[in-house]
Amino acid sequence: MVSEGSTRLAAFDEMLPEVSGLRRPYEAYDRWLKEQDPARLTQKMQDAERVFRKTGITFAVYGEQEASERLIPFDIVPRILSGHEWRRLTQGIEQRVQALNAFLDDIYHRQEILRAGRVPRDLVARNEAFLPEMIGVKPPAGVYTHIIGVDIVRISENEFYVLEDNARTPSGVSYMLENRETMMQLFPELFQKIKVRPVENYPQLLRQSLAAVRPQSAKGAPTIAVLTPGSYNSAYFEHAFLADQMGVQLVEGQDLRVVDGHVAMRTTEGYKQVDVLYRRVDDAFLDPLTFRPDSALGVPGIMDVYRAGNITIANAPGTGIADDKAIYSYMPEIVEFYTGRKAILGNIPTWRCSEPDSLKYVLEHISELVIKEVHGSGGYGMLVGPAATKKECEAFAKKLQAKPSNYIAQPTLALSTCPILTEKGLSPRHVDLRPYVLVSDRIQIVPGGLTRVALKQGSLVVNSSQGGGTKDTWVLDD
């Protein structure tokens, strides 16, 4: 029996590829690993779980009423990238992030790219993620998407692809930080032996970055706050963590209101002006007066304050149009249009099911492809063809035919693997990588990111909501 989402593809292992043996970035780690007593490592694995549970690093899983708080499994074998590999990646990411912001600015102003016919007008105009309310609005400092998580997969020594651009409210950065913290607690000697570039200044960089895009109306040092939907949200731990690490207030919609043309928070001494809001609330819930009227998570009237230029909202409303899965397939064109160069980081070939020829191809090859909902996220509502039964494929084909424009398809890639520690020793599992990018007057990428790992043997689904785990990600200082 084949477990869900699993395939039998020959994958490139980042530590021990079959052809060439141990890869260089892993040499020092491998030496250390061979000296370790396996029993001690098993003990460390349990220690790690205890650390996470004690500190309450949990996430809520939607649809599971009983286990309302769960841990994301953590594997103690790091995923290691050389300095050289990282430099190449960052060039590609920077270019892409520049293009994303330029695209957003264009889409909400002159729409040159649509006029030039490089992206179909309908795809933007009829897209739910496109916010007409943002047309003509210039965000403070001209930045639309301030915090981006670019999901990258690797399939060979030199082939990296962007799987997804998360330009709305990418999550997971707290795991990047806590994973490192945990690794340093568990194996302090490793970090003395191997020079790993630090990630722990991320909260500081985030704060500086948010301060740099403050509105002109902010007098002196801007007041920054993190807006969370509340303690029942699945990513609440991260919201609290980031606010805490940045030393700013963690606010909910009920704490905020518009006072004299500014957004203000209710403190024990009355209302205090907020200049920059790092919101972890979706567009639709941001302002009940502009968007969903039933939302209690947002701030009535905040969009008016925003349009008047009196608050920075990070990320800006309407950035979802840039990471929409249908737009994704046009990213190579978008990158070239705004940067004048070919995209350094490639896209995964994508069939847009809205196009009749593509739909035909996808239906004929359904058992070989990965098919995703255009607006879906978190690994929900997708089909991994090679792992699905005939019945599942047929059922999915029906959904696909009913609303083709709702889907895209991609070849099933043999994502690279990285070993995890199991009871029987090292065993390869598929991984992806989400580096975090900060945009203000400059672009900064913390050397590392979140490595997500599919814990089930052969599985390609790395999402935490679907049984994925995480690893500490090392960028070597070489």
Partner 1 sequence: MLLGRTANGLYWMNRYIERAENMARLVDAGLRMALTRTQNASEEWNSVLLSAGSDYAFSQKYQDYTAANVSDFLLRDTSNPSSTMSSIETARNNARMVRTALTRETWESINEAWMSLKRMLARPIDERDLPTVLDAIKRETALIRGSFYGTMLRNEIFDFSQLGTYVERADNTARILDVKYYVLLPSLSWVGSTLDNYQWESILRSVSAHRSYRWVYEADYKPTNIADYLILNVRMPRSLTFCYRFLGEHLKFLADDYGERHACHATAEKIQALLKRGSIKDIFDHGLHEFLAEFIRDNTRLGDEIAQDYRFH
Residues that bind partner 1 (CB under 8 A): 53-56, 230-231, 236, 240, 243-244, 249-252, 254-255, 265-270, 272
**Nearest residue (CB) to partner 1, 50 versus 390:** 50
User: What stretches of 231-343 show up as alpha helix (H) in DSSP?
Assistant: 236-246, 283-286, 302-307, 320-323, 325-328, 331-339
**Nearest residue (CB) to partner 1, 224 versus 462:** 224
To the nearest whole angstrom, how small is the minimum distance from the Cβ of residue 213 to partner 1?
22
**Nearest residue (CB) to partner 1, 46 versus 192:** 46
- 174-186: b (≥16 Cβ within 10 Å) or e: bbbbbbbbbbeeb
Total Cβ atoms within 10 A of residue 4: 14
Q: How far apart are CA 226 and CA 243, in angstroms?
A: 6
**Nearest residue (CB) to partner 1, 106 versus 238:** 238
To the nearest whole angstrom, how small is the minimum distance from the Cβ of residue 231 to partner 1?
5
Q: How far apart are the first and last CA of the chain?
A: 44
**Nearest residue (CB) to partner 1, 231 versus 457:** 231
Amino acid at 31: R
Q: How far apart are CA 125 and CA 390, in angstroms?
A: 37
To the nearest whole angstrom, how small is the minimum distance from the Cβ of residue 249 to partner 1?
6
Amino acid at 40: R
**Nearest residue (CB) to partner 1, 156 versus 267:** 267
Total Cβ atoms within 10 A of residue 189: 8
To the nearest whole angstrom, how small is the minimum distance from the Cβ of residue 269 to partner 1?
5
**Nearest residue (CB) to partner 1, 63 versus 270:** 270
CB-based contacts of 319, cutoff 8 Å, min separation 6: 104, 144, 145, 167, 168
To the nearest whole angstrom, how small is the minimum distance from the Cβ of residue 221 to partner 1?
13
CB-based contacts of 450, cutoff 8 Å, min separation 6: 149, 172, 173, 175, 176, 179, 433, 434, 436, 470, 473
Residue 24: half-sphere exposure toward Cβ, Cα within 13 Å: 7
Residue 315, preceding bond cis, omega within 30 degrees?
Answer: yes
To the nearest whole angstrom, how small is the minimum distance from the Cβ of residue 58 to partner 1?
10
**Nearest residue (CB) to partner 1, 249 versus 463:** 249
Grouping H, G, I as helix, E, B as strand and the rest as coil, residue 313 is strand
To the nearest whole angstrom, how small is the minimum distance from the Cβ of residue 227 to partner 1?
12
Q: How far apart are CA 371 and CA 401, in angstroms?
A: 13
Of residues 324, 267, 263, 298, the one with CA closest to residue 122: 324
Q: How far apart are CA 58 and CA 444, in angstroms?
A: 28
To the nearest whole angstrom, how small is the minimum distance from the Cβ of residue 267 to partner 1?
5
To the nearest whole angstrom, how small is the minimum distance from the Cβ of residue 341 to partner 1?
43
- In the beta sheet, which residues pair with residue 224? 276
Contact 172, 238 (CB under 8 A): yes
**Nearest residue (CB) to partner 1, 254 versus 401:** 254
To the nearest whole angstrom, how small is the minimum distance from the Cβ of residue 235 to partner 1?
13
To the nearest whole angstrom, how small is the minimum distance from the Cβ of residue 290 to partner 1?
24
**Nearest residue (CB) to partner 1, 256 versus 388:** 256
CB-based contacts of 100, cutoff 8 Å, min separation 6: 144, 145, 148, 165, 167, 322, 323, 334
Extract the tokens encoding 49: 């779980």
To the nearest whole angstrom, how small is the minimum distance from the Cβ of residue 168 to partner 1?
23
Total Cβ atoms within 10 A of residue 443: 17
CB-based contacts of 69, cutoff 8 Å, min separation 6: 58, 59, 60
**Nearest residue (CB) to partner 1, 273 versus 295:** 273
**Nearest residue (CB) to partner 1, 273 versus 310:** 273
